[in-house]
Structure 1
Amino acid sequence: MLPSQNTRANAGSTRTSAVYRDLRQDILRGRLSPSAKLLIDEIGQRYGVTSTPIREALNQLVTEGFVQKVDQKGFFVAQVSRRELTELTNTRCWVESIALRESLANRTPQWEEQLILAGHRLSRINRSSDPEVFRESAPWEDTHKQFHMALLAACPSRWLLEFCSLMTDHAARYRYLSMSLAYPGRDVTKEHKALIDAAIDGPPARAIEMLTEHYRTTADIIIRSNMDLPD
């Protein structure tokens, strides 16, 4: 391939990556509503790109489950439902229990230091940009995921960690539904600190139990309080 061809290929890849990243974030954070139709022209205007990188990004999001492709109808933001949330939560608890058990079995001083650091960073960021009502805090969201992945980081299976990361992002869509319902009554900082203590000092079974309880609490809040969530 000639240098100019390499340049064009790299530019196309960069555009696709940018659209994929922006679309993914807008879906995760509820800026694009569940079941909304994703029109190529509208996306192009929204992100300032042509149709080719849009289609490539959409197809990538289809493989991850954030977008649904319907024959003869086009692309749609993946639906949400109570049944889907229950299935996701159960699967996440099952799989992350294995990943956490393996992580604790292979922990090192460096793992412990990184976990404590991740927890400290998370505790230093306000959950909401407004102390009275929930307002999205993107830095908290990013650091929150880093904290949960730090718990699992010593797990020796790359495949397992990648699946846990994907499920974490799917769960984030639902967690956004619960933010205004649980904030500021739920003390997630205390829950995260307890997780750190259990992972470092407690038996693995206790840390696993606390992690699954942490996830199920979020699901329960959404299911009990969000009457608009389809069955």
Structure 2
Amino acid sequence: MIKSQISKRISLPQETSTETIAESSYRRIRADILFGRLPPGQKLKLDNLKTAYDTSISTLREILNRLSSEGLVVAEGQRGFEVSPMSVADLKEIAELRLLLETHALEQSFARGEMEWEARLVSAHYKLARMEQAMASGDTSHAEEWKRYDWEFHQALISACGSKLLMEAHAAVFDKYLRYQMVALSYRGAVAAQEHQHLLDAALKRDGETAKMILVAHIQGGVEHALAKGPLP
């Protein structure tokens, strides 16, 4: 059953003060799915959601249909909605698509990136590295901040690619990949941190070939680590 009091949420990207109630509710529910607070397969009963998110039934229907179009919710006809299930095949397909999009965007971003891009990248990596240090110490209370800064770093890497559509497509796939990581709470420790550092170094050198090889190992390693932790929910 969905709790009436929802804990602190981190949405990707963060909420703004000018959002409508409907947009804010959408982002809150979406974040709760991505971070596993609404687990795979959970029935999304409108009455419970209305209480938990203080949102009207009609608005909730619109939100859930929107999330269904994104693949995060399954619409069951007259039976309502549920959080999309997980599978090994789905995770592998998401990882392959992320790799396809991100390697292409990296190539474009490295060719076009200027000093402002480098500054964004260094700043994003600094924040991620601090969170990785906290996670490495065994403090998993920062798991959501860790993944937000991970998202920001990978977005910074491709932010000079010159294509808004490519950025949006990558963000959507990355979020689905992130959901698997959060549900499995899959942190690879020093290996992942080193890969991020090497990605930063390659980016600042504009070494696209090295960056793509690191990214392949980074994403494939994440999948293997998540699956090694046991069956998916």
Q: Which interval holds the TM-score relative to the shorter structure?
A: 0.7 to 0.9
1:190 shift after superposition: 2.0
Q: Where in structure 2 are the equivalents of 1:64-213 lying within 5 Å?
A: 64-125=70-131, 131-132=137-138, 134-179=140-185, 182=187, 185-201=189-205, 203-213=207-217
Contact 1:127/1:140 (8 A) holds in 2: no
Residues 60-91 of structure 1: CA deviation (Å, up to 9, x unaligned): 11111111112221111011100000000011
- Shifted more, 140-149 versus 36-45: the winner is 140-149
Are 2:23 and 1:17 equivalent residues in the alignment? yes
Distance, in Å, in 2 between the alignment partners of 1:174 and 1:102 is: 28
Structure 1's 90 and 129: CA in aligned 2 closer, same or farther, altered over 3 A?
A: closer
Distance 1:128 1:68, change over 3 A: farther
CA RMSD, Structure 1 to Structure 2 (Å): 2.0
In the TM superposition, what is the alpha-carbon distance from 1:124 to its structure 2 partner?
Answer: 2.4
Distance 1:130 1:40, change over 3 A: farther
Amino acid in the other structure paired with 1:124: R
The answer for the alignment partner of 1:8 in structure 2 is none
* Cα distance, 1:225 vs structure 2: 2.3
Q: What one-letter code is carried by the residue in structure 1 that aligns with 2:208?
A: P
Match of 2:6 in 1: none
Cα distance in 2 for residues equivalent to 1:127 and 1:173: 22
Q: Is there any run of 5+ residues in structure 1 with no aligned partner, and where?
A: 1-12
Query: Are 1:92 and 1:164, in contact at CA under 8 Å, matched by a contact in 2?
Result: yes
Distance change >3 Å, CA 225–CA 124, structure 1 → 2: closer
Tell me the CA shift for residue 134 of structure 1. 2.8
For the residue of structure 2 that corresponds to 1:68, the secondary structure is: strand
Q: CA deviation at 1:160?
A: 0.7
Q: How high is the TM-score relative to the length of structure 1?
A: 0.86
Cα deviations across residues 173-222 of structure 1 (Å, max 9, x unaligned)?
1111343x546x44432221111001222521110111121111110111
Query: 5+ unaligned residues in a row in structure 2: which ranges?
Result: 1-18
What is the alpha-carbon distance in structure 1 between the residues aligned to residue 75 and residue 133 of structure 2?
Answer: 34
Contact 2:50 2:60 in 1 (8 A): yes
Give the count of matched residue pairs. 215
Q: What is aligned with 2:37? A: 31
Cα deviation for residue 106 of structure 1 reads 1.1
Structure 1 residue 55: Cα displacement: 1.1
